[in-house]
Structure 1
Amino acid sequence: MVAPQDHEYLVMGGANRAGVGRLLSFAASVISGGLVFGILYAIDLAEQLGWNVNAPPTLLSLVGAGAVFGILYWVLNKWAWRWPGIGTFLKVPDISGTWDCQGKTLAPDGSTKFDWQAEVTIVQCWDKLRIRLATKTSGSSSISAALAHDSVDGFVLLYHYRNDPRPEAVELKPHTGCAVITIAKDLKSADGEYFNGRGRMTFGTMTWTKRN
Structure 2
Amino acid sequence: MGTTTTVRTGATIAATLYTLVLLVLGLYPSQFRYLFAYIPAAVGYSVIVFDKWAWRWPVVHRFTGRPRVDGTWRVMLSPSPASDIPEGGNRGPITTYMTIEQTFWSLHATLRTMESTSRSDNAAISSPENSGTAEIGFLYTNAPRVEHQQRSPRHEGACRISVTGLTPRAATGHYYTSRFTAGDMDFMLLNRSTGYGTFAEVQTDDPLHTAG
Scaled by the length of structure 1, the TM-score of the pair is 0.66
**In the alignment, structure 1 residue 97 sits paired with structure 2 residue 71:** yes
Correspondent of 1:106 among 80, 95, 101: 80
2:190 alignment counterpart: 211
**Equivalent pair of 2:107/2:124 in contact (CA under 8 Å):** no
Aligned-partner SS, 1:177: strand
Correspondent of 2:100 among 122, 134, 151: 122
Aligned-partner SS, 1:114: coil
**Equivalent pair of 2:29/2:38 in contact (CA under 8 Å):** no
**In the alignment, structure 1 residue 177 sits paired with structure 2 residue 157:** yes
- By how many angstroms is 1:202 displaced? 0.4
- Which structure has the larger Rg? 1
Point out 4+ residue stretches in structure 1 off by more than 3 angstroms.
5-8
Provide the aligned C-alpha RMSD in A.
Answer: 2.9
Q: CA 1:107 to 1:153, structure 2 compared with 1: closer, same or farther past 3 Å?
A: farther
Q: CA 1:153 to 1:78, structure 2 compared with 1: closer, same or farther past 3 Å?
A: closer
Scaled by the length of structure 2, the TM-score of the pair is 0.66
Aligned-partner SS, 2:43: helix
Count of paired positions: 161
**Equivalent pair of 1:6/1:129 in contact (CA under 8 Å):** no
CA distance in 1, matches of 2:146, 2:31: 64
1:189 alignment counterpart: 170
Residue correspondence of structure 1 range 79-94 to structure 2 within 5 A: 79-94=53-68
CA distance in 2, matches of 1:70, 1:164: 38
2:86 alignment counterpart: none
Gaps of 5+ in 1: 9-35, 43-59
C-alpha distance after superposition, 1:1-50 (max 9, x if no partner): xxxx6565xxxxxxxxxxxxxxxxxxxxxxxxxxx7962259xxxxxxxx
Gaps of 5+ in 2: 5-26, 84-89, 192-212
C-alpha distance after superposition, 1:58-86 (max 9, x if no partner): xx69x623321222112111211112332
Residue correspondence of structure 1 range 127-206 to structure 2 within 5 A: 127-148=105-126, 149-152=128-131, 154-170=133-149, 171-185=151-165, 186-197=167-178, 200-206=179-185
- By how many angstroms is 1:92 displaced? 1.3
